[in-house]
Amino acid sequence: MQTLNQQLLDNVVAIVREGGEHLKQFYARSIAVKIKADDTPVTEADLFISQFLTTRLQQLTPDVPVLSEENCDIAFSERNQWQEYWIIDPLDGTQQFINRTDQFSIVIGLVQKRGKKNQPVLGVIYAPIVDKLYFAMEASGAFLQENGEIRPLVKVEKQTEKPLVIAIGSQIHADKALQAMGDYEVQFLQYGSSSLKAGLVAEGKADCYIRFGDTGEWDTAVAEVLLNEVGGSVFDFNFAPLTYNQRETFINPYFVMVKNSSLNWDKIFLFK
């Protein structure tokens, strides 16, 4: 089992930054786009960055398997034996990349077995075009590096009376969120990739991020680390935690990511 320390985190940050330089080169030119079996797009950038990150992580930790969104066809009987593994999304926000919004990222996380559950314990999110780097490690805090400065992301002391700011991916999700809420004053913040919306929550620019629609475990694992370190959490519409590598499928249930776990979210969102 990998020992969580600053050296390991620094190595992962270096890998993700290197991947970001490659991604910038793809972003600067036209690239081929294909549609996968699940009707989501994939580009040559996704595939190249996936292979690049996998190779680098295997060089860093030869005994730790790597699970990538673009290389996840691994039998549950095999991965069920894993004590730890890297989980990566080589291009979180492929549609954002295609649409040229700049709001996409590279995501690397480390998941370790704790008792009967698998727990994300280290994670890095890097948006190379807007130059934002989020990183966190279990019991070591969460941080944002931006404009050459690193600052710690802090816990919310208490919720003041104000509109609830909800990060969403589209207006359709905003409409669905309103249908699921009690009589609560809200404003919506529409933004790009899933991991970057999680980052906005961790920063406190949004109180929560709600997701209607399929995502993969690679979309939420690093967010779990980031939010856990700032007093937040991730839960499904039954207010239960998400799981990692414990099912045949990697598809998450619909979820909410929150900055302040102490709020009565089950009184705010009235999911049926």
* 93 among annotated binding-site residues: yes
The tokens describing 33, both together, are 């786009």
Q: How many CB atoms lie within 10 A of CB 106?
A: 30
CA distance 44 to 26: 8
Is 131 annotated to bind a ligand? Reply is no
The verdict on whether residue 92 carries a ligand-binding annotation is: yes
Please check if 157 is assigned to a binding site.
no
- On whether 47 is known to bind a ligand per the annotation, the reply is no
Q: Which residues are documented as binding site?
A: 69, 89, 91-94, 219
Q: Which residues are documented as binding site for substrate?
A: 69, 91-94, 219
Q: Which residues are documented as binding site for Mg(2+)?
A: 69, 89, 91-92, 219
